[in-house]
C-alpha cells in the first residue's frame, strides 16, 4: 500500500523530472515556437494581470456544473428505472445505444443551430457527454444487485418505490458514483472542445484565441496546463466522494 508521503512525493518528483526534460528540450533544440516552462509561467502571469484567468476558468466551470447537474438529475433516475423494469429497458436501450456512440463534438453544429453562439450550446454538449455514461452505469449497477436483496425486500413487504429507494439505490450507489466520476471527466473534455467553437470565453476559447491572435504558444500551453490541473482537481474531488464513510464498503482500500 502506498503511504500518504509517497502519494505526494512521487507525483511531485515525476512532475519535476518532466519540467526539467521540457526545459532542456527547448534549450537543446533552440526552438522559437514551443515555449519554455518559464515562458508559460509568465503567460499565466499575463493572463492574471489582464484579468482573464479567473473569469475564463469560472465560465468553463459554470458550464460544466450546469450541464453535468442536468445530466445527473435526469440520468440517474432514468438509469434506475431502466435497470428496474425490463420492459422499459427493452423500449429505451436501442435508442440509448444508437445515440451513445455519437461523439458530443459531432453535435456542435446542431447545438449552434439550436442555441446559437452562447452558453446554452456548450451546456447542451456537456449534458450529452455526461448523460449517457450516467444512464449506462446506473443501469448496470441496478442489474448487478444480488437477487437475494430483492427477495428479502419482497419478504418484508416493501412496495416497488420503497424497494427502489431503500434497496436498489443504496446497493447500486458505489457503481453509480464511479459512473458519475467518469462522466465528470467527459464533461470537462467536452466543454473545452465546445468553447473552441461555440463561445467567446472559457479555457477552450483561450487556447484557440491565443493560437489565432499572434500564435501565442506560451498562452496555448498555459491554457492546456490549466485545463489539466482543473481536471485533476475535479477528479480528486470525485474520488473523495467515493470515500465517504457510508459508501466506502463499495471500494477497495487503496
Q: Under a CB-based contact definition with an 8 Å cutoff, are residues 203 and 60 in contact?
A: yes
DSSP notation for 161-186:
HHHIIIIIHHHHHHHHHHHHHHHHHH
Cα(89)–Cα(72) distance, integer angstroms:
19
pLDDT at 251: 46
Query: Coil, helix or strand for 143?
Result: helix
The series of mean pLDDT values per 10 residues for the chain, 254 residues long, is 70 88 87 86 90 91 95 93 84 88 88 86 93 92 82 78 79 87 92 84 88 84 92 87 60 46
Phi/psi region, residue 236 (left: phi>0; alpha: psi -120 to 50; beta: rest), is alpha
pLDDT at 246: 56
Q: Is 231 exposed, middle or buried (0-12, 13-18, 19+ CB in 10 A)?
A: middle
Cα(63)–Cα(69) distance, integer angstroms:
10
Domain extent listing, the chain: 38-250
Global pTM reads 0.86
The set of long-range contacts for 47-54, using a CB threshold of 8 Å and a minimum separation of 24, is 47/206, 47/219, 47/222, 52/206, 53/226
Would you identify the CATH topology of the domain 38-250? MetI-like fold (1.10.3720)
Cα(140)–Cα(82) distance, integer angstroms:
10
pLDDT at 201: 85
Amino acid at each position: 500500500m502506498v503511504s500518504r508521503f509517497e502519494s505526494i512525493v512521487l507525483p511531485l518528483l515525476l512532475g519535476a523530472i518532466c519540467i526539467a526534460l521540457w526545459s532542456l528540450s527547448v534549450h537543446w533544440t533552440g526552438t522559437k515556437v514551443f515555449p519554455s516552462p518559464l515562458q508559460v509561467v509568465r503567460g499565466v502571469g499575463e493572463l492574471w494581470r489582464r484579468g482573464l484567468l479567473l473569469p475564463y476558468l469560472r465560465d468553463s466551470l459554470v458550464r460544466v456544473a450546469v450541464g453535468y447537474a442536468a445530466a445527473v438529475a435526469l440520468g440517474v433516475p432514468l438509469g434506475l428505472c431502466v435497470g428496474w423494469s425490463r420492459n422499459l429497458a427493452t423500449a429505451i436501450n436501442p435508442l440509448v445505444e444508437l445515440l451513445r456512440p455519437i461523439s458530443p463534438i459531432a453535435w456542435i453544429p446542431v447545438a449552434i443551430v439550436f442555441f446559437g453562439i452562447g452558453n446554452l450550446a456548450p451546456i447542451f454538449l456537456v449534458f450529452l457527454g455526461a448523460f449517457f455514461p450516467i444512464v449506462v452505469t446506473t443501469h448496470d449497477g441496478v442489474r448487478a444487485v444480488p437477487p437475494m436483496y430483492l427477495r428479502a425486500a419482497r419478504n418484508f413487504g416493501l412496495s416497488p418505490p420503497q424497494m427502489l429507494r431503500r434497496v436498489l439505490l443504496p446497493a447500486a450507489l458505489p457503481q453509480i458514483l464511479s459512473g458519475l466520476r467518469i462522466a465528470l471527466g467527459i464533461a470537462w473534455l467536452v466543454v473545452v472542445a465546445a468553447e473552441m467553437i461555440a463561445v467567446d470565453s472559457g479555457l477552450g476559447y483561450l487556447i484557440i484565441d491565443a493560437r489565432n491572435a499572434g500564435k501565442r504558444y506560451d498562452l496555448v500551453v498555459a491554457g492546456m496546463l490549466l485545463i489539466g490541473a482543473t481536471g485533476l482537481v475535479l477528479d480528486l474531488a470525485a474520488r473523495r466522494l467515493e470515500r465517504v464513510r457510508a459508501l466506502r464498503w463499495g471500494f477497495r482500500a487503496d
